Chains A and B, each alone.
Chain A
Amino acid sequence: MTDLLAIDDLTIRHAGRPLVAGVSFAIAPGERVGLIGESGSGKSLTALAAIGLLPEGMTASGSIRLAGRQLVGAADRDIVGLRGSVVATIFQEPLTALDPLMRIGNQIAEVVRRRARRDGQPVDVQAEVLALMARVALPEPRRLARAYPHEMSGGQRQRAAIAMALACKPRLLIADEPTTALDVTTQAEVLRLLEALVREDGMGLLFIGHDLPVVGAAVDRVLVLRGGELVEAGPVAEVFGRPRHPYTIGLVEAARTFDRAIGAAL
């Protein structure tokens, strides 16, 4: 049992209708995998299932093993311990992940304390919060630690959310469209940061997105999901360079159209 996340023949149903059908893939420690899909492809549902957080009324069948533990059919109280220890998640809109009434430093500190309690090791919370903030390249950590989420820019909020995820010291990081709400220049910075952090800590990464080059910037291997089914999988260069499935070919062609538009600059 070496895989961090092993999903086998996952099917997710809502009111009898399959939204995800027969999806299988695995993420080994240190492996970075991208899940590409458009609206309704089931990519976010797959991610939610991987942390045992499917919305009400949806049922999963098949097998989801997170750090060796079977999630399908497991009670929530048995899974709760995995979230925030084995796996951490960052979302598209960091505002929803942050408490609007709490200073950002305290929010990160809370996660650090929770982890310290879990591991039973005393830590210098203050020092670790500042170190985490510096690590995600938040400027002036000491000053910003006292800021409320609404006083920060979108990019800073996403960096703070990443710091909170890192504070758990997870083995698997799930990032669901983490740069979609950001400006282009901020997106590039956050992608570089995310890529470097995951590599340094040897975390596994499941990066979910719809924008091919954005996903490509963060991962080694991609899976293409369409209408709840996996249509193509492989290393980034292979899938983007020689797509085989007609749907992937369409996606690649669309991305190339935008490439060509600014291609003159190269």
Chain B
Amino acid sequence: MTDDAPALAQPSSLRLTPAFLIGAALVGLHVVVGLMTLVWTPYDPTAMTGGRLAPPSLLHWAGTDRLGRDLFTEIMIGARIALAVGSGAVTIAAAIGVTVGLLAAFASRAVDDVLAATLDILIAFPTLLLAMLIVAASDGASLGTAILAIGVAASAIVARLTRILARRVLAMDYVTAARVSGTSWLGIVRIHVLPNIWPTLVVNFALQFGLAVIAEASLSYLGLGAPPPNASWGRLLQEAQATVYTAPFGAVAPGLALVSLVIGLNLFADGLRDVADPTRRRRG
């Protein structure tokens, strides 16, 4: 039945789906805003610039918090924190996860079994719980510990994915051909394994980025994230909790920011799946 199936049209150039474009736009907006806060914010984030818990107005687009600080400024800075934690955590997760995953894929049966079981146990821990343990074990909550904690927690998932993907590549005849040609194991990783698993990994990194943003907000909400004056969305949510009935926008605004970034990252990841792999084809 297989040999008659017509070859499907090959995406020879990048095909940008609407979902991908929307995702990229949302993520891009957050990146631009986050970078902008390095040089300019509407107000000094620590200054009391208006009445307490003021509703949105022309002067304060998202209103003010309980100390009269401009909420929009804080949310803008929150974007920077979220992106810093996300990219930092994904970098750590990628570095540890890909390395461990590749080692497991190449390892002997016994070593692989041990590694696989370890990863499964680590994955069984909720990322947040693992991150909390790491934060608790370190000197105290800081931006750095949050990044490290979330990154380490996510690395188990990346490692398991890498191991499965790499094993699949190692089973292909082109790897056998490479071994027969005398290509070293490192060469096989560089020439064959990484290029073939990369598209799937990148998509996963984008998803992990979204999860890291949520994890950071959760840690901050629990008071385990970056301490003030780092305006994390999680901390903004936590502060707004007490006044959610009187000044709902204090919770709605950072919530919208968080949701828009995570949805953007997920749409971006989905779109990336197609775009990242121009040679993707169904076997005919």
A–B contact via C-beta, under 8 angstroms:
yes
CB neighbors of A among B3-42 (8 A) = 3-6, 9
CB neighbors of B among A25-41 (8 A) = 38-41
Hey, which chain A residues are within 8 Å of B6, CB to CB? 14, 17, 19, 40
Contact B1 A41, beta carbon cutoff 8 Å: no
Q: List, sorted by A's number, 22 A–B pairs whose CB atoms are closer than 8 Å.
A: A14-B6, A17-B6, A19-B4, A19-B6, A38-B3, A39-B3, A40-B3, A40-B4, A41-B4, A42-B4, A43-B4, A44-B1, A44-B2, A44-B4, A45-B4, A47-B1, A48-B1, A91-B1, A92-B2, A176-B1, A177-B1, A210-B3
Closest 7 CB pairs of A and B: A44-B4, A39-B3, A44-B1, A45-B4, A14-B6, A176-B1, A42-B4
CB neighbors of B among A165-196 (8 A) = 176-177
- Which of A15, A40, A42, A177 is the most central at the interface, judged by chain B CB atoms within 10 Å of its CB? A40
B233 → chain A, closest Cβ, in Å?
A: 43
A55 at the interface (CB under 8 A from B): yes
B8 → chain A, closest Cβ, in Å?
A: 9
Q: How far is the CA of A42 from the CA of B9 in the complex (A)?
A: 18
Q: How far is the CA of A198 from the CA of B2 in the complex (A)?
A: 25
CB neighbors of A among B211-250 (8 A) = none
B36 → chain A, closest Cβ, in Å?
A: 46
Interface residue SS majority, chain A:
loop
Hey, which chain A residues are within 8 Å of B9, CB to CB? 15
User: Which of A15, A41, A47, A55 is B5 in contact with, Cβ under 8 Å?
Assistant: A55
> With contacts defined as CB atoms under 8 Å apart, how many contacts are there between chain A and chain B in the complex?
29
A211 → chain B, closest Cβ, in Å?
A: 13
Hey, which chain B residues are within 8 Å of A48, CB to CB? 1
| A interface residues (Cβ-Cβ under 8 A, vs B) | 14-15, 17, 19, 38-45, 47-48, 55, 91-92, 176-177, 210
Hey, which chain B residues are within 8 Å of A19, CB to CB? 4, 6
Q: How far is the CA of A41 from the CA of B3 in the complex (A)?
A: 9
Hey, which chain B residues are within 8 Å of A176, CB to CB? 1
Nearest residue (CB) in B for A37 is B4
Nearest residue (CB) in B for A89 is B1
A-contact bits for B96-119, CB 8 A (1 contact / 0 none): 000000000000000000000000
Hey, which chain A residues are within 8 Å of B3, CB to CB? 38-40, 44, 210
Hey, which chain A residues are within 8 Å of B1, CB to CB? 44, 47-48, 91-92, 176-177
- Which of B1, B2, B4, B5 is the most central at the interface, judged by chain A CB atoms within 10 Å of its CB? B4
Q: How far is the CA of A256 from the CA of B143 in the complex (A)?
A: 76
Nearest residue (CB) in A for B9 is A15
Nearest residue (CB) in B for A14 is B6
Hey, which chain B residues are within 8 Å of A210, CB to CB? 3
Q: How far is the CA of A15 from the CA of B6 in the complex (A)?
A: 10
Nearest residue (CB) in B for A45 is B4
Hey, which chain B residues are within 8 Å of A41, CB to CB? 4
A14 → chain B, closest Cβ, in Å?
A: 5
Nearest residue (CB) in B for A96 is B1
Q: How far is the CA of A204 from the CA of B173 in the complex (A)?
A: 41
B281 → chain A, closest Cβ, in Å?
A: 15
Q: How far is the CA of A91 from the CA of B2 in the complex (A)?
A: 10
A235 → chain B, closest Cβ, in Å?
A: 25
Q: How far is the CA of A48 from the CA of B9 in the complex (A)?
A: 22
A47 → chain B, closest Cβ, in Å?
A: 8
B236 → chain A, closest Cβ, in Å?
A: 48
Q: How far is the CA of A14 from the CA of B3 in the complex (A)?
A: 15
Nearest residue (CB) in A for B4 is A44
Hey, which chain B residues are within 8 Å of A14, CB to CB? 6
Nearest residue (CB) in A for B7 is A40
Q: How far is the CA of A42 from the CA of B3 in the complex (A)?
A: 9
Q: How far is the CA of A177 from the CA of B5 in the complex (A)?
A: 15
Q: How far is the CA of A42 from the CA of B6 in the complex (A)?
A: 9
B196 → chain A, closest Cβ, in Å?
A: 25
Q: How far is the CA of A91 from the CA of B3 in the complex (A)?
A: 13
Q: How far is the CA of A176 from the CA of B9 in the complex (A)?
A: 26
Q: How far is the CA of A92 from the CA of B1 in the complex (A)?
A: 7
Hey, which chain A residues are within 8 Å of B5, CB to CB? 44, 55
Hey, which chain A residues are within 8 Å of B4, CB to CB? 19, 39-45
Q: How far is the CA of A17 from the CA of B9 in the complex (A)?
A: 12
Nearest residue (CB) in B for A55 is B5
B167 → chain A, closest Cβ, in Å?
A: 20
A-contact bits for B198-209, CB 8 A (1 contact / 0 none): 000000000000
- Which of B1, B2, B5, B6 is the most central at the interface, judged by chain A CB atoms within 10 Å of its CB? B1
B50 → chain A, closest Cβ, in Å?
A: 59
Hey, which chain B residues are within 8 Å of A38, CB to CB? 3
Nearest residue (CB) in A for B3 is A39
Given contacts A19-B6, A41-B4, A43-B4, 8 further A-B contacts (CB under 8 A): A39-B4, A40-B4, A40-B6, A44-B3, A44-B4, A44-B5, A47-B1, A48-B1
